[in-house]
Structure 1
Amino acid sequence: MRGAGNPLVRPLAKSRYHFSTGASVVRASRQEQIMKMSRRRLLGCLPAVALLAASPLAQAGATVDVRDFGAVGDGVTDDSAAIRNAAAALRSGKTLWFPKGSYRFAEQYPQSGAAVAINGLSDFAVDFEPGAELLMDNIDPEQGVGTSHAILITGASSRIMLRNITIRWAKQKSRSHGDGIRILGFPGDAGSKPPDWTGSKGTVHGVRIVNCSIESSPQAGVIFIGASDINVSKLVVKNTQGDGLHFHACRKGVIDNYTAINTGDDGLALVSYYTDGFSYDPTSDNFAFSNLGNWSIADFDITNVTVRGGHANGVRLAGANGVSITGLNISGVHTGAGVICDSSAPGVDTGWHYVAARGIELKQVDIENCDTGLQLLARPNTATDSRFTDFDVHVSDAVIRDCDNWSVRMESLTDQRTTGLRLDSATVVAQSDRDGKGGVSLENTHNVSIGNLSIQHTLPVVMFYANNSSSLELGTIHMTVTDSAQPRDASTPGLNIQNSTYTIGAIDVDRPGSPPDWTPIRLAKETATCNIGAAGSPATLGTVAVRPASIQRWITSC
Structure 2
Amino acid sequence: MTLSRRELLAVPAVTALAVLAGCSRNGRPAVVDVRSFGARGDGITDDSEAIQSAASALRTKGTLRFPRGVYRFAKRWPPGGAAIVISGLSDVGVEFDPGAELFLDNLDPTERTGSSHGVLIRGPASRISLQNVNVRWADGAKRSLGDGIRIEGFPADTQLSGWTGPATPVDAVTVSGCTVRSSPQTGVVMLGVSGIEVTGLRVTDSGADGLHFNACQHATVDEYNAVNTGDDGLALVTYFAPQPAFDEASHTFSFPDLTEWSNQDFAVSNVNVFGCRANGVRLAGAHQVAIDGLDVVGVHSGSAFLIDSAEPGADVGWNYVASRAVRLGDVTATDCDMGIHLLARPGASGDQRFTDFDVHVDDAKLDECATWSVRAESLTERQTNGLRIDNCSITASSTAGGNGGVGIANATGITFGDMSIRHPEPVVVFSAVNAGELTIDHLSVAITRPDQPDVAAKDVVAVDHSDGVIKELTIGWPAAPSSWIPVRVSPALTVPSLTVTPPVVTSSVQRP
TM-score by length of structure 1 reads 0.87
1:266 counterpart SS class: coil
Deviation digits for residues 468-501 of structure 1 (CA, Å, limit 9, x no counterpart): 0000101100000012235155441110001001
Whole-angstrom CA distance in 1 between matches of 2:451 and 2:213: 48
Whole-angstrom CA distance in 2 between matches of 1:68 and 1:452: 62
Aligned: 1:547 with 2:471: no
Name the counterpart of 1:144: 112
Aligned: 1:107 with 2:75: yes
Contact kept, 8 Å, 2:170 with 2:193, in 1: the verdict is yes
Amino acid across the alignment from 1:252:
H
Aligned: 1:447 with 2:401: no
Name the counterpart of 1:313: 279
Q: 1:19 to 1:365 in 2, by over 3 A?
A: farther
Amino acid across the alignment from 2:375:
R
Paired residue for 1:370, among 320, 336, 361? 336
Whole-angstrom CA distance in 2 between matches of 1:80 and 1:492: 66
Aligned: 1:165 with 2:133: yes
Whole-angstrom CA distance in 1 between matches of 2:259 and 2:25: 34
Contact kept, 8 Å, 1:156 with 1:200, in 2: the verdict is no
Whole-angstrom CA distance in 1 between matches of 2:81 and 2:418: 52
Instruction: Compute the displacement of 1:348 (Å).
Output: 1.4
Aligned: 1:402 with 2:368: yes
Contact kept, 8 Å, 1:391 with 1:421, in 2: the verdict is yes
Amino acid across the alignment from 1:244:
G
Contact kept, 8 Å, 1:224 with 1:246, in 2: the verdict is yes
Contact kept, 8 Å, 1:9 with 1:63, in 2: the verdict is no
Q: How does 1:8-407 map to 2 (within 5 A)?
A: 8-10=19-21, 61-189=29-157, 191-192=158-159, 194-198=160-164, 200-407=166-373
Amino acid across the alignment from 2:395:
V
Deviation digits for residues 320-371 of structure 1 (CA, Å, limit 9, x no counterpart): 0110000000010000000000000001111000001101000001011000
Quote the sequence identity (%): 45
Q: 1:265 to 1:123 in 2, by over 3 A?
A: same
Runs of 4+ in structure 1 displaced over 6 angstroms? 18-21
Paired residue for 2:428, among 438, 450, 462? 462
Whole-angstrom CA distance in 1 between matches of 2:201 and 2:272: 11
1:8 counterpart SS class: helix
Whole-angstrom CA distance in 1 between matches of 2:353 and 2:201: 33
Q: 1:321 to 1:498 in 2, by over 3 A?
A: same
Question: How many matched pairs?
Answer: 497
Q: 1:11 to 1:418 in 2, by over 3 A?
A: closer
Amino acid across the alignment from 2:36:
D
What is the aligned-residue RMSD (CA, Å)? Answer: 1.7
Amino acid across the alignment from 1:475:
D
Deviation digits for residues 222-261 of structure 1 (CA, Å, limit 9, x no counterpart): 0000000000000000000110000000000000000000
Contact kept, 8 Å, 2:452 with 2:481, in 1: the verdict is no
Instruction: Compute the displacement of 1:8 (Å).
Output: 2.2
Amino acid across the alignment from 1:179:
D
Whole-angstrom CA distance in 2 between matches of 1:19 and 1:171: 42
Whole-angstrom CA distance in 2 between matches of 1:403 and 1:381: 29
- Structure 1: where are the runs of 5+ without partners? 13-17, 22-59, 525-529, 531-537
Deviation digits for residues 16-42 of structure 1 (CA, Å, limit 9, x no counterpart): xx9996xxxxxxxxxxxxxxxxxxxxx
2:19 counterpart SS class: coil
Whole-angstrom CA distance in 1 between matches of 2:256 and 2:396: 40
Whole-angstrom CA distance in 2 between matches of 1:539 and 1:221: 47
1:87 counterpart SS class: helix
Q: 1:477 to 1:116 in 2, by over 3 A?
A: same
Name the counterpart of 1:520: 486
Whole-angstrom CA distance in 2 between matches of 1:86 and 1:199: 28
Contact kept, 8 Å, 1:100 with 1:128, in 2: the verdict is yes
Whole-angstrom CA distance in 1 between matches of 2:102 and 2:162: 33
Whole-angstrom CA distance in 1 between matches of 2:399 and 2:345: 27
Instruction: Compute the displacement of 1:435 (Å).
Output: 1.6
Contact kept, 8 Å, 2:181 with 2:205, in 1: the verdict is yes
Deviation digits for residues 83-118 of structure 1 (CA, Å, limit 9, x no counterpart): 000000000111000000000000000121000001
Contact kept, 8 Å, 1:490 with 1:517, in 2: the verdict is no
Amino acid across the alignment from 1:143:
E
Instruction: Compute the displacement of 1:515 (Å).
Output: 1.2
Contact kept, 8 Å, 2:230 with 2:276, in 1: the verdict is yes
Contact kept, 8 Å, 2:310 with 2:346, in 1: the verdict is yes
2:435 counterpart SS class: strand
Whole-angstrom CA distance in 1 between matches of 2:162 and 2:426: 57
Q: 1:458 to 1:20 in 2, by over 3 A?
A: farther
Contact kept, 8 Å, 1:490 with 1:519, in 2: the verdict is no
Relative to structure 2, which stretch is displaced further, 457-466 or 484-493? 484-493
Instruction: Compute the displacement of 1:313 (Å).
Output: 0.3
Amino acid across the alignment from 2:108:
D
Name the counterpart of 2:395: 429
Amino acid across the alignment from 2:86:
I
1:553 counterpart SS class: coil
Whole-angstrom CA distance in 1 between matches of 2:409 and 2:19: 64
Amino acid across the alignment from 1:318:
A
Whole-angstrom CA distance in 2 between matches of 1:468 and 1:105: 57
Q: 1:120 to 1:498 in 2, by over 3 A?
A: same
Whole-angstrom CA distance in 1 between matches of 2:200 and 2:498: 48
Whole-angstrom CA distance in 2 between matches of 1:154 and 1:265: 24
